[in-house]
Structure 1
Amino acid sequence: MDYEDQLDRALEQSPEIASGGDRFEVPDPEVRPEGNVTVWENFEAVHDRLARDPDHLMRFLQSELGTSAQIDDRGRARFTGDFKQQRVADALEAYVEGFVTCSECGSPDTRLVDERGTTVLKCDACGAISSVPDI
């Protein structure tokens, strides 16, 4: 088997990874005030799109926004205090940058994995492993 045959075989067996940044769009957070609480209506859709554990995302947001929060029985995030949509969107963007996007190739096709007791970001597109900030 020569090089060309091996290359063709490898390409056939490799997973399809869509190219271009257009395919990965994080939904904008839909937030509204409810008394002294801010409710994030589409929280479930957002963490599903990011393929991240809702508790991990929630811990980050609590730290970033400096407030307490919980996930209600309808999958919505409820933050103590009044937060504007842009403030929540900025916090979400910081999460995506630190815990979703590959620092090497920019791909969102990543996973958080434990490696020797430390959580790292593993890219399924390029194979890079990078550290993530502590929450």
Structure 2
Amino acid sequence: MDYENSLDRALTETPEVGDAADRFQVPDPEVRPEGNVTIYENFQATYDRLNRDEEHFLKFFQSELGTSASIDDRGRARFTGDFKQSRVADALDEYVDSFVTCSECDSPDTRLVEEQGATVLKCDACGALSAIPDL
């Protein structure tokens, strides 16, 4: 087998590699009413997938939905009031835009860090530091 044939074979057998946005999938929120509260069933799986602290994640939802909330013994969020799945999904999208994806390269490989007394979003892919909104 000559070089050109080997190269062609290697290129056809090499899997396509997408960018970070392609491999990053945010779970859709599983929301259901229970009496006068709304239960976010996969709350724990979502903040684990986003690699964020549960208290920060919950505090954002409390602020965004304008309600009180708690985490039950099964890791579910309980929001006081009736919230549709689409409203919770919109809030989740806002969280991802503000606190997860890098504003420079759109990578989800970020973390919240303290820099000079302020919490900022640090991108592990490009190294950018971005301001985040106050909660």
Structure 2 length-normalised TM: 0.86
**In the aligned structure 2, how far is the partner of 1:84 from the partner of 1:119?**
31
Matched, 1:78 2:85: no
Structural mapping, 1:1-135, within 5 Å: 19-135=19-135
Gaps of 5+ in 1: 1-17
Q: Deviations over 1:43-96 (max 9, x none)?
A: 000000000001001000000000000011100000000000000000000000
Runs of 4+ in 1 over 2 A off after TM superposition: none
Alpha-carbon offset, residue 20 of structure 1: 4.3
**In the aligned structure 2, how far is the partner of 1:119 from the partner of 1:80?**
28
Aligned residues: 119
Partner of residue 14, structure 2: none
Give the aligned residue type for 1:128.
A
Q: Greater Rg, structure 1 or structure 2?
A: 2
Give the aligned residue type for 2:73.
D
Alpha-carbon offset, residue 19 of structure 1: 2.4
SS in 2 for 1:48: helix
**In the aligned structure 2, how far is the partner of 1:78 from the partner of 1:129?**
33
SS in 2 for 1:33: strand
- Superposition CA RMSD, Å: 1.3
Gaps of 5+ in 2: 1-17
